Amino acid sequence: MTSALFLCACQTMPDAYAPPVQRLPFENARPYRAPRFIMMADGDADFRIVRDIPAHAEGVWRWTGQHPTVRIPEGPNRDLRYVMDFALPNVTFASTGPVTLSFYVNDHLLDRVRYTTSGSKHFEKAIPPDWLEEGKEALASAEIDKVYTAQDDGVRLGFILVGMGFKQP
| Predicted confidence (pLDDT) per residue in 87-130, tens digit | 999 999 999 999 999 999 999 999 999 999 999 999 999 999 99
Expressed in angstroms, the distance from the first to the final Cα of the chain is 75
| Residues, the chain | 169
The pLDDT score that the predictor gives to residue 151 is: 87
Instruction: Using alpha carbons, list the distances in angstroms from residue 80 to 14, 71, 95, 101, 126.
Output: 55, 15, 35, 20, 6
pTM for the full model? 0.79
pLDDT averages per 10-residue partition of the chain, 169 residues: 57 72 61 75 92 90 97 89 97 95 98 97 96 92 96 92 93
Cα angle 105, 111, 113 (rounded to 5 degrees) comes to 135
Tell which residue, 157, 87, 160, has the closest CA to residue 122: 87
Residue 73 · residue 150 · CB < 8 Å: no
Structural domains in the chain, CATH included, are 34-167 (2.60.120)
DSSP helix/strand/coil, 58: coil
